[in-house]
Structure 1
Amino acid sequence: MVVFDPIQARHHLHRTPELSNREYQTSAYVERALRSMGVTIVDAGLETGVIGEITGGSGPTVALRADLDGLPVTEDASHALRSQTQGVMHACGHDLHIASLLGAAAQLSERASELPGSVRLVFQPAEETGHGSDVILSSGVLDDVAAVIGFHNNPNYAPGSVAVGEAMMAGCVRFEVNLRAQGTHGGYPEKGTGPIEALATIVSALQTIVSRNVSAFDSAVLSVTEVHGGDVWNVIPTSAGFSGTVRTFSQATEDRVENRFRALVESLAAGFGLGVDITWERLARPLINNPELLHVLLPQVATVAHVADLQPSMAGEDFADYRAKAPLFFAFVGSNGQPGAADWHSPQYVGLDATIPTAISFYTHSAVATLRNFA
């Protein structure tokens, strides 16, 4: 049996990130590492991503998940681990996730005969696009699992700490609005319909949705993040538009926000004499832990890490989609904790190697405790 070094693996992975659905070398690296441990590779028909299987005694199967992809971000760091792939960076710390699950696989494979069931290792592609979970779900590899367990590193907590609760991460919606107008000369606005003024009015009005439609005891965010319209200084354009995101922790809140969003946009566009097209795309559901698993596994987490106070995140995670197949358990594992540490998706993001031992213990202890619970 080859001795596996998760820290060394993390260093390699951080230097060689790949974008969503292009994780070919990352997948090959993971597969080689699993084979060196004697872990069975499951042919799930994936173009990128890897599924491993550690077969223990008779009993249920529990899935452990890590994500593979980097981001189109240029790393702004001078340390030795700096990405060697131009314009691509593990700015969300998925290299920490991969190395930790490989480290857990090494430990669990050595004690496979003691396991009261089997452990399925899911190395998922394309988490950052919001569609990688769909690939895993459609492959069928989660059809027979009793639970799915995962984590995300969190630079707001120090290494050695874990934060966990019921509501972990928000659901994520991407919206896009396109206003259709009658273009005209900038000196003769009365001969057309102006989408720029309408856009400004609509964007301003949308800011009232959360403040006047969502309870102060609930949480929601609506952010307009991109605006476009016109490309000639003296021409009123034929179209203008904007896009952005909505984050909520419940489907009921998302539905309420969507209904008000559509009503405001459509009525205001009509008031300006414009046509309008609206796209409302759900990229991730709210990530809510299963209460039974939370009750069973929280004491296990406390044996391997300091349990920190949870601050739920408004970022999205497609791990939530796996709730369609099995109960979920998900945690934040501290990865930096220094004052002013950059957050996910920043060119200055730094995840520390010290994250990995705690993450490995989180995986292994959670897997064994879950198998025993369902057995």
Structure 2
Amino acid sequence: MAKLTDSQLESVLIKYRHHFHEYPELADNEFKTTEKIKEILTRWNIKILSTHLKTGVFAEIGLKDGPTLGLRADIDALPIQEESGVPFHSKVPGKMHACGHDTHIASLLGGAYLIKQREAELPGKVRLLFQPSEEANEGALQVINDGQLDGVDAIIGFHNTPNQPIGRVGLKPGIASGAIDKFKVTLTGIGAHASAPQNGRDPIVALGAEIGALQSIISRNINALSGGVLSITHVTAGNTWNILPETAFFEGTVRTANKEVRETIKKRFPQIVDATAKAYGVTADIDWYTGDPSVVNDPGLTAIVRDETSKFTDTYELTPGLGSDDFACFQEHVPGVYVDIGNGGHVSVHNPRFTADDGLLIYGARFFERNSFRLLHELSNSK
């Protein structure tokens, strides 16, 4: 494997990042992305591990027995038509790397290259996890169930973040993100002519009452200092102007950063939905999906990562938000640290005008390289 200078490596990573950005693939369909990652790792003589998953790449670097550190990057895109205006914009209609996972892929590739150059120095092994389906279908759980976390002692990863200078790293021990739950509710009444609502049971009126009543969970059932969000994001009912429909539908999400609050909302939600539906003479069918837990960073490992990262870039204390990431699923099995790295942009993720500066790639690569050696040394000394 040819030795690259820092500037040469950065140029290579930018080229790879642009390729992945131009050809985005949705969750569980990252076939070409998977093949490209394998092609690059194979060229660099990095060992590819076997998997039963149809997408995603798992690999390992290291010559010595010892602890194993997992490095994770998610690889899927979103069903969004790009409007960013970048010269390397998506060539796939209706699909875009609007969450910056292309920068995660390229950064982990860069980290893998740098670690491979110093493989003989590793006091253990590094497991590369190019994870599919972060945006849907619990990709982290797929990876865990496939056995790719077996033997891993700790794990690190990052998410690019807007509104921070390029390469600035945000860290926080403990809870750093929200847990996610999803719900779908179908209300069934009796259809009637709009001029004679007394002959039916109007699910639209019931739906309106449900929307208002459910917000009382946040305002009246949980401590205001604990925090939580219940957002109804999709409502549909009826198909014309003079007919009361049989059914009405709404769905949305709950975000929390406290286990007790999460349980309170989950308990109160069906109570309110069923009681409100009964009051309006309709029935309710609830589909509740329990999603990712909160990202919870190990305090000891976070302190080490903060110290090592501060040697090559600025760091700051991350303010937790209620966004979610299935990296949290890995942390339910092994201790881990998940950080933010500034991307220099000013548009939110999941937006068609989202951009991320190529300059963050070398910081991402160094984050993985420097912390791999530091954490493996620390883990070796603690055993």
TM value normalised by structure 1:
0.96
**Residue 33 (1) aligns with residue 40 (2):** yes
2:31 to 24, 27, 43: 24
Alignment of 1:312-327 (within 5 A): 312-327=320-335
Task: Give the conservation status (yes or no) of the 8 Å contact 1:61–1:371.
Answer: yes
Alignment of 1:153-192 (within 5 A): 153-166=160-173, 167-192=175-200
Show the counterpart of 2:72.
Answer: 65
**Residue 52 (1) aligns with residue 59 (2):** yes
SS for the counterpart of 1:364 is helix
Deviations 1:92-135 (A, max 9, x none): 00000000000000000111110010000000001000411121
Show the counterpart of 1:353.
Answer: 358
Q: Distance in 1 between matches of 2:343 and 2:60?
A: 27
Show the counterpart of 1:309.
Answer: 317
Q: Distance in 2 between matches of 1:369 and 1:212?
A: 47
Show the counterpart of 2:18.
Answer: 11
Task: Give the conservation status (yes or no) of the 8 Å contact 2:27–2:137.
Answer: no
Task: Give the conservation status (yes or no) of the 8 Å contact 1:130–1:317.
Answer: no
Q: Distance in 1 between matches of 2:288 and 2:182?
A: 6
Show the counterpart of 2:89.
Answer: 82
Where has structure 1 moved over 4 Å in runs of 4 or more?
none
Q: What root-mean-square deviation, in Å, do the aligned CA atoms of Structure 1 and Structure 2 show?
A: 1.3
Show the counterpart of 2:368.
Answer: 363
2:264 to 256, 265, 268: 256
SS for the counterpart of 1:294 is helix
**Residue 152 (1) aligns with residue 159 (2):** yes
**Bigger mean CA deviation after superposition, 59-68 or 354-363:** 354-363
**Residue 205 (1) aligns with residue 213 (2):** yes
1:122 to 129, 143, 146: 129
Q: Distance in 2 between matches of 1:311 and 1:343?
A: 16
1:140 to 144, 147, 167: 147
SS for the counterpart of 2:60 is strand
Q: Distance in 1 between matches of 2:370 and 2:222?
A: 39
Q: Which amino acid in the other structure matches residue 251 of structure 1?
A: K
After TM superposition, give the deviation of residue 158 of structure 1 in Å: 1.1
Q: Which amino acid in the other structure matches residue 151 of structure 2?
A: D
After TM superposition, give the deviation of residue 304 of structure 1 in Å: 2.1
Q: Distance in 2 between matches of 1:251 and 1:271?
A: 31
SS for the counterpart of 2:291 is strand
**Bigger mean CA deviation after superposition, 126-135 or 1-10:** 1-10
**Residue 247 (1) aligns with residue 252 (2):** no
SS for the counterpart of 2:206 is helix
SS for the counterpart of 1:133 is helix
Deviations 1:119-170 (A, max 9, x none): 0000000100041112101111102100111100001211120001022221
What residue ranges of structure 1 are gaps of 5+ in the alignment?
none
Q: Which amino acid in the other structure matches residue 208 of structure 1?
A: S
State the number of aligned residues.
Answer: 372
Task: Give the conservation status (yes or no) of the 8 Å contact 2:168–2:314.
Answer: yes
Task: Give the conservation status (yes or no) of the 8 Å contact 1:130–1:283.
Answer: no
Task: Give the conservation status (yes or no) of the 8 Å contact 1:23–1:68.
Answer: yes
Q: Which amino acid in the other structure matches residue 188 of structure 1?
A: A
Q: Distance in 2 between matches of 1:97 and 1:323?
A: 19
Task: Give the conservation status (yes or no) of the 8 Å contact 1:59–1:117.
Answer: yes
SS for the counterpart of 1:74 is coil
**Residue 97 (1) aligns with residue 112 (2):** no
Q: Distance in 2 between matches of 1:304 and 1:275?
A: 59
**Residue 287 (1) aligns with residue 292 (2):** no
**Residue 332 (1) aligns with residue 340 (2):** yes
After TM superposition, give the deviation of residue 255 of structure 1 in Å: 0.7
SS for the counterpart of 1:284 is coil
Q: Percent identity?
A: 36
Deviations 1:211-242 (A, max 9, x none): 22222221211111100111122111111010
Q: Distance in 1 between matches of 2:297 and 2:312?
A: 19
Q: Distance in 1 between matches of 2:224 and 2:306?
A: 29
Q: Distance in 1 between matches of 2:289 and 2:200?
A: 31
What residue ranges of structure 2 are gaps of 5+ in the alignment?
none
